[in-house]
Structure 1
Amino acid sequence: MTVPSCDAGFGMTVPSCDAGFGMTETSPVVTFGSRTKRGDYPGTCGVLVHNTEAKMISVEDGRELEQGEIGEICVRGPQVMAGYYRNPEATAATIDSDGWLHTGDVGYCNDDGFFFIVDRVKELIKYKGFQVRAEPFTATVVRQVAPASLEDLLRKHGGVADAAVIGVPDEEAGELPRAYVVTSDPAITEQQLADFVNRRVNPFSRLRGGVRIVDAIPKSATGKTLRRQLRQAAERELAAQRGAAGPQSVP
């Protein structure tokens, strides 16, 4: 977050603005200090607080990633909770045997130690799993698409006022990325927006689920995108399409 964005968001002049990252399970701080002597990076949630470790792991196979790569943020330190009260199953699902707490947040750390949050693991779109064989084992690898990165790209289009991306069900691919867009230019078409994105992303991140131009993106009182409502709208659309197709005859 930058000072100008704070000014715009609060409708007043903010002399300084800083950011941090944490959760209840980390009591609650992991990173803080987006404005330090090491640099000023818009969008960062700061650097690690003292005595805290962090690593990124692949959301596809759990391997540890290199600095700068995007993955799930895992943290370890004295502020991490001992566990959930009387819920060992939930604790084991959140804190691994080495004491790393899996935050469920997707992000990366740059070369200067600044962290950036880009999405949530549960929001990732799972596109087209494929099998990798290494005898005697077989593993299924699923491409993960981060909705937030596609939303940021769409907002860079001059005719887009707001955007949200979800995964829509597909029998072959699992899920397909679909964008819901509020335009500021009535002449912009859904196909133009799809082409704008698809030319700039890797093949599995393309908007194969299409684009829908809408009047508004559903949001909570705090401004969080209500993706659940968009998924429900997509489900209704798919159900209507199946109904319009009518019953299929079986030879």
Structure 2
Amino acid sequence: MGNQPETHPNPTIDPKSGFNSETRTFQSLRPKTPLPPLSQPLSVTDYTLSLIPSTSLSATAMIDSDTDTHLSYSVFIRQIKSLSSSLKSLFPSLSKGHVALIISPSSLHVPVLYFSLLSLGVVVAPANPLSTHSELTHHVQLTKPVIAFATSSTSTHIPNLKFGTVLIDSPQFISMLNNFNNSEPPRVEVAQSDVAAILFSSGTTGRVKGVELTHRNFIALTGGFYYTNLMLGNLDEKESNKVSLFTPPLFHVFGFFMMVWTIAFGETLVLMKRFDFEGMLKLVEKYRIDSIPVSPPLVVLLAKSELVNKYDVSSLKIVGCGGAPLGKEVGESFAARFPNVIIEQVT
């Protein structure tokens, strides 16, 4: 695959802009991403795990910054399989297309739970753990879940569901994660067109809305990032494992997708349960963070706050900004303070 744009024989497509004068739409001039055929049954779990470099399997997948607990990729994958088997054993009627409501702060258990449910074809619907009773009632009305996964502190307002609520900080759930003697989880044929997740809007323009995203949506986004970086030579397996600090919550679309993408690259995720700016700077110094996904207000703080001078943040190489457009002046201020850090607008 070369770096040059494909040649478009269609004279209606402008070779510089990609504008099609017939359809009045723009077409990408980048090389096509080699994605699996849409007719091939494939879950986002299987696709993502297939991309992890073999050299990363012994590396750390995730770190809980509150407890400094490390989870390797090999154990992470084993926990996904163990949990999938346990869920099918405990809830044999839990089927493809059922919706699971997830209400939990970021922890090492949440990505395992996401990937496990997605491998079974269960639709993941993560909600803000600070949601009120009224908001959760609205979430339930929108998504019609049959089961919920929550922590002891976030389960209070969940209504009665068909399969009840599983507490992911309970001894039972921990045993479900680590029952490595389980048989292989049952194979569930998941179509790429099946809904993978229902992610909620912030509610700034009215009541919260649920947005359905398919397995193909995540496969295409992940594949696009993966093969673009491969083409640019950014996936050198000989490099030491990259470390990303996660500031966005995993229930948010930005955090959800970045989690999938980071795991596909075999990088290390450092998770924060609760965000605070100085705490973030401490973690950058402690874990020698390479990259951080952030929102524009956080870019402003990084560019202007005097707290930055108290910590060694020289390990930072990339800041990915998403959630809203980044203003030109803010970007310039950041670049002046961090000339060696690449800032990317994630869309």
TM-score by length of 1: 0.31
**Higher relative contact order structure (alpha carbons within 8 Å, sequence separation ≥ 6):** 2
Bigger fraction of residues in helix:
2
TM-score by length of 2: 0.25
